[in-house]
Chain A
Amino acid sequence: MYVAWRDLRFARGRFALIGAVVALITLLVGFLSGLTAGLAAQNVSAVLALPADRLVLHPVGGAAATFADSAIDETTVDAWRAAPGVDRVAPVGITQTRAAGPGASTAVALFGLDAGTSFPGPRRDDEIALSEGAAKNLGAVVGDDVTIAGSSYRVSAIGGDHWYSHTPVATLTASAWAALDRSLGGSGQPTVLAVSGDPAWDAVAADTGTTASPPLASLTALSTFRSEIGSLALMIAMLFGVSALVVGAFFTVWTMQRSADIAVLKALGASSGAVVRDALGQALVVLVAGVGVGIALTAVLGALAGGELPFVLSPLTTLAPAMVMIVLGLLGAAVSLRIVTSSDPLSALGSTR
């Protein structure tokens, strides 16, 4: 690193420029990651909070199982309850509608499940539990009345930051939800079974014509989640690719410019390992500095935007992309190592023929 540090000092303008580019790309990746995590949370946090080892969906008409189309009849519920190894089956109804509160009306995702699980829910059919987002949008507090499709419910609890398809969650009892769903034109059948235990999942699913997936894997059955996260993940992946390309191109040009110096060092006795370590160390310094600045900016901007945007600031949205950026940047820089290793020390002597 002896020469590398001095190169960094000598050509600080050049390295500051590439560091700034790395920082900007990191900011983009970090911000997109935070936004993706935020959007994902607003899409599926309620599903992930369901008390289950597996979520069971019932495909309708031979189509792939989705939350939008699934409907589970009583026979299927009973079959899962009777399956050996099953500890608990909680039918969960999910529908989206509008609710009117004391302050405003808003779209809500209406979950129906009985109390007694870890998911916050009311105990009586004339009560409703609101997530923090729903309570805020409705302007409701505990004890207020909320009206849905002409039926009035008393707010019994407010808590949890639960969202489903970008709408805040409100929870009724299973029977109240079924009645409301029927009044909205639905079948009143639950959408999904939250199953706990250790049964022969595949066998029971095959027998009942259902699918049983861990909560995380079941998210692919949520079409909005799939398309939204897919698009954002693609953008992040492309930014990772751009960062590797930019860093690789920079260090390739830089290394080409100093190939004569490398030849001299090798002629003087520098080992290839020493020259390679020097080059990679230099790239690592630039990457760590650029990524560090980028992540710091992401943290600051994310904290500022967190109140207005669905933005999650966590190690997963900051440190993880930072590590990927550094690794990909080093891989990009490694492209230039071929110039380093193939540099002929004989060329330092000039023509020898």
Chain B
Amino acid sequence: MILLDDVTLTYPDGDARVTAVDHVTLEGRAGIVTGITGPSGSGKSSLLAIAATLVRPDSGRVIVDGVDATGLDAARRTTLRRERIGIVFQQPQLLPALSAREQLRVMAELGGRARRERRTAVRGRVDELLDAVGLGALADRRPAQLSGGQRQRVAIARALVHEPRVLLVDEPTSALDSARGAEIMALLSRLTRERETATLLVTHDLVHGEALDETVEVVDGRAVVVTSRTR
């Protein structure tokens, strides 16, 4: 699970400071997709950055899979991301030189010389995950040889290959048409349940809202509405 506990984030704007996230408490639970919605500039992406430990909040705590990330230095936060957090970016952000299979395998190499067991474990899951996202037959293709939806599927598989406890997803359908977007959302929902990840998903609209188990609406940096849906 992941818990953002009363987090506040401000950033400088000239002589003043602008509040991007204002005392937000948010919990993502295992097997649940929590949607974070809101208009542009409301602070939802800032929330995701805090959850990803890419930004340290001014106040409050960030607990990732039982680890308080708030006081960790940059190197330890990097390790935390590498081991317990999966991230799907708004654009797939795949490395152009790597095939789909290699995009997943690289996750075992991010800490430099990977431990043999970690490399073996990740490699063992690569083909299974590519099959799970429907790309088993395209594993040797590079990003330029894949469609936008296929690239996003690779990105999802990459985010899950190291078996993170927390999955953070940023606007996964923004570059896709409606049908492909629905497929991606359904895939995320299914994988979240199957792999028991705590998924936080930022989206600016609720066209594909049926894939969200809970929804947190952020307005002006504050979480104002929380809804949950019974499957």
Residues of A at under 8 Å CB distance from B?
2-3, 6-7, 9-11, 260-261, 264-274, 277, 345-346, 348-353
Give which listed residue, B48, B93, B102, B158, contacts A6 with CB less than 8 A: B102
Chain A: CB-nearest residue to B162:
A269
Residues of B at under 8 Å CB distance from A?
11, 18, 20, 41, 45-46, 48-49, 52, 54-55, 75, 78-79, 81-83, 85, 87, 89-91, 93, 95-98, 102, 105-107, 109-112, 142, 158, 170
Chain A: CB-nearest residue to B95:
A261
Q: What's the dominant secondary structure at chain A's contact region?
A: helix
Contact B110 A265 (CB under 8 A): yes
Complex: A2 Cα to B45 Cα, angstroms = 31
Contact A348 B112 (CB under 8 A): no
Complex: A7 Cα to B158 Cα, angstroms = 19
B143 to chain A minimum Cβ distance, whole angstroms, is: 11
Contact A352 B45 (CB under 8 A): yes
Contact B112 A274 (CB under 8 A): yes
Give which listed residue, A11, A267, A277, A353, contacts B81 with CB less than 8 A: A267
A273 to chain B minimum Cβ distance, whole angstroms, is: 6
Q: Report the 9 A-B pairs with minimum CB-CB distance, sorted nearest first.
A: A269-B82, A10-B97, A2-B109, A274-B112, A270-B110, A269-B81, A264-B93, A352-B49, A352-B45
Contact A264 B89 (CB under 8 A): yes
A345 surroundings in chain B (CB, below 8 A): 54
Chain A: CB-nearest residue to B13:
A353
Known A-B contacts A11-B97, A273-B112, A352-B55; the reply to A268 vs B107 at CB < 8 A is yes
Give which listed residue, A270, A277, A350, A351, contacts B78 with CB less than 8 A: A270
Give which listed residue, B82, B90, B142, contacts A268 with CB less than 8 A: B82
7 A-B residue pairs with Cβ-Cβ distance under 8 Å, sorted by A, are A2-B109, A264-B95, A267-B54, A269-B78, A269-B79, A269-B107, A274-B109
Contact A271 B111 (CB under 8 A): yes
Chain B: CB-nearest residue to A274:
B112
Complex: A274 Cα to B114 Cα, angstroms = 10
Complex: A269 Cα to B110 Cα, angstroms = 6
Known A-B contacts A267-B81, A269-B79, A271-B112; the reply to A346 vs B41 at CB < 8 A is no
B110 to chain A minimum Cβ distance, whole angstroms, is: 4
A349 surroundings in chain B (CB, below 8 A): 45, 48-49, 52, 54, 87, 89-90, 170
Contact B170 A271 (CB under 8 A): no
Give which listed residue, A265, A272, A277, A353, contacts B41 with CB less than 8 A: A353
Known A-B contacts A350-B90, A351-B45; the reply to A3 vs B78 at CB < 8 A is no
B105 surroundings in chain A (CB, below 8 A): 2
Complex: A351 Cα to B194 Cα, angstroms = 31
B20 surroundings in chain A (CB, below 8 A): 352-353
Complex: A2 Cα to B95 Cα, angstroms = 12
Complex: A264 Cα to B82 Cα, angstroms = 12
Known A-B contacts A2-B106, A269-B111, A270-B82; the reply to A346 vs B55 at CB < 8 A is yes
Complex: A122 Cα to B81 Cα, angstroms = 83
Chain A: CB-nearest residue to B11:
A353
A257 to chain B minimum Cβ distance, whole angstroms, is: 10
B52 surroundings in chain A (CB, below 8 A): 267, 349
Complex: A269 Cα to B102 Cα, angstroms = 16
A13 to chain B minimum Cβ distance, whole angstroms, is: 13
Give which listed residue, B11, B46, B82, B106, contacts A3 with CB less than 8 A: B106
B65 to chain A minimum Cβ distance, whole angstroms, is: 14
A340 to chain B minimum Cβ distance, whole angstroms, is: 14
Give which listed residue, A7, A271, A272, A277, contacts B97 with CB less than 8 A: A7
B111 surroundings in chain A (CB, below 8 A): 269-271, 274
Complex: A260 Cα to B92 Cα, angstroms = 12
Chain A: CB-nearest residue to B202:
A349
Chain A: CB-nearest residue to B45:
A352
B96 surroundings in chain A (CB, below 8 A): 10, 261
